[in-house]
Amino acid sequence: ESQNVPLRECPLCLQEVPADQFPKIISCSHSACITCLRQYLAMEISESRVNITCAKCNELMHPTGLFHLLNIIHKIHCLDLI
C-alpha cells in the first residue's frame, strides 16, 4: 500500500479496514466499514424494512442519516466502476 492510512477493525466483519472506509452514522456512535454498511442496508431495503436501525444497537437511523450513507455508498460504487 502506498498510503499510510491507519486501520480499524470493523465490528461487523472483524476485518482490519482503512479508517477512511468508516462513514459516520448520525443516529448513534457506532460505525462499520462501508462494505458491511452497503450489505446491511441492501438487505434491510430488499426486505422492505420501513424502520432501519443500527446493526449494533438497534437505534433507529434518521432518514437524513440514511440518505447520507446511501449517497456515500453510491459515490464509492461509482468510483469502483471507473
pLDDT at residue 70 greater than cutoff 90: no
Q: How does pLDDT run across 12-68, given as a tens digit for each residue?
A: 999 999 999 998 888 898 999 999 999 999 999 899 988 999 989 989 998 888 888
pLDDT of residue 81: 58
pLDDT of residue 79: 62
Q: Which long-range contacts (CB under 8 A, 24 or more apart) does 52-60 make?
A: 54/25, 54/27, 54/28, 54/30, 55/12, 55/30, 56/11, 56/12, 56/28, 56/30, 56/32, 57/28, 57/30, 59/27, 59/28, 59/30, 60/27
pLDDT at residue 1 greater than cutoff 50: no
